[in-house]
Amino acid sequence: MGSQAASLQFGVEIELLLGSRKKAYGSWSALAKDVSKRLLKAGINNHINEGGSRSAENYSEWSIVQEVTIPSQPANNLWGIELVSPVYPAAWYWAGDIDAVFAAVHGAFMVVASPHCSTHVHVSATPAPLSTVELGLLAKAVLYFEPALDGLAPTVRRSSSTYWCQSNRVSQAFRDQQGLDSCFSIIDAAVDSAAVAGEVSATRAVVEAINLFPAGSAYGRAHGKKHDFVRGKAFKWDFSGMLPKSAGCGTGLGTVEFRQPPGSTAADEACAWVTLALTFVAGVTAVGDFGVDNVDAGASPAELWNVLHSGAAFIGWEGLGTLEHLFGSSSSDSDN
């Protein structure tokens, strides 16, 4: 990534199932207003994003969104909610804000662990987005390091049976490929197409390689798809944010989204997943060639550890902070 690694930025989406310690709420909006008030009192500027708009204005401060994938339980006074951060520079002291957010939430609400909750981290580079070459490196790393990354996640977030974080290896672009070498060749061909088709077309080819969903799926049939199509939000890593809005399936935000992490019920957990996403992207794109010990077996935890430390050093961090605890507890099969 060259000099851009120090200019990585991110946003985090924290899905929570909340219940009040003191009062019942008649609606989601009533809960959201109370959460907003308590965050503001803690010094966290925020607003309620009723329509879920993705406009730039909604990423200038924390926002509160209704998350429909988390079933609310009004009878039990439990409500699904998503807290969406502003865009933070990687090198800024963002962990303090996340600490403040969770302190405010825990002070007034019960945070209930739920398999329906997850933590999503969007990573981008500034002032220019990740190049097609960098995106290709990251795509190959997503496939190669999957076993090691799976080892850090609870069991429920590893299997492709979990609809919203399927393995990128099951992308339809790789369906006829037996080994990672042939998958890498498809990604390399996508990157190399820039010489003829241009950078935008090559970027789309990389996204299609890593995020291609079957037309014959239930979603594809319901939406009348006649050809396989990009549906990044179904995969552990969503590259579709690198596509322009005009592509239909793109957001134009220039981000890569890490969707595998489970719900975070504490600040340390959310910070660990943010650290993992940032150092992984920085380590892979900054080193340029992350090395492959055994392409068919995938990366070992030690290989992942080295890449993350390289990424941390490139960003300018000393160590991996709360992520070190995540490595220490990776043998647990807890789904929390």
pLDDT in tens, 84-128: 999 999 988 899 999 999 999 999 999 999 999 999 999 999 998
CATH class of the domain defined by 7-117: alpha beta
Q: How far is CA 313 from the centre of its chain?
A: 21
User: What tokens does 242 get?
Assistant: 């690198």
Tell me the three state secondary structure of residue 47. strand
Tell me whether strands 46-48 and 62-65 are parallel, antiparallel or unpaired: parallel
Q: Sign (positive/negative) of CA torsion 305, 311, 314, 316?
A: negative
- Residue of 329 and 167 predicted with greater confidence: 167
Mean pLDDT of 194-200: 89
Mean pLDDT of 273-301: 87
pLDDT in tens, 32-47: 999 999 999 999 999 9
- Residue of 330 and 167 predicted with greater confidence: 167
Q: In this structure, which amino acid lies at residue 12? A: V
Q: Is the pLDDT of residue 333 over 70?
A: no
Omega before residue 71 within 30° of 0, cis: no
Distance of alpha carbon 248 from alpha carbon 225, whole angstroms: 13
What are the domain boundaries of the chain? 7-117, 130-328
Distance of alpha carbon 335 from alpha carbon 159, whole angstroms: 13
Residue 18's alpha-carbon distances to 109, 121, 299, in angstroms, are 6, 21, 37
Mean pLDDT of 324-332: 71
Mean pLDDT of the chain: 90
Mean pLDDT of 151-159: 88
In terms of Cβ atoms closer than 10 Å to its own Cβ (0-12, 13-18, 19+), residue 112 is middle
What is the predicted pLDDT for the residue at 262? Answer: 96
What is the predicted pLDDT for the residue at 247? Answer: 60
What is the predicted pLDDT for the residue at 204? Answer: 96
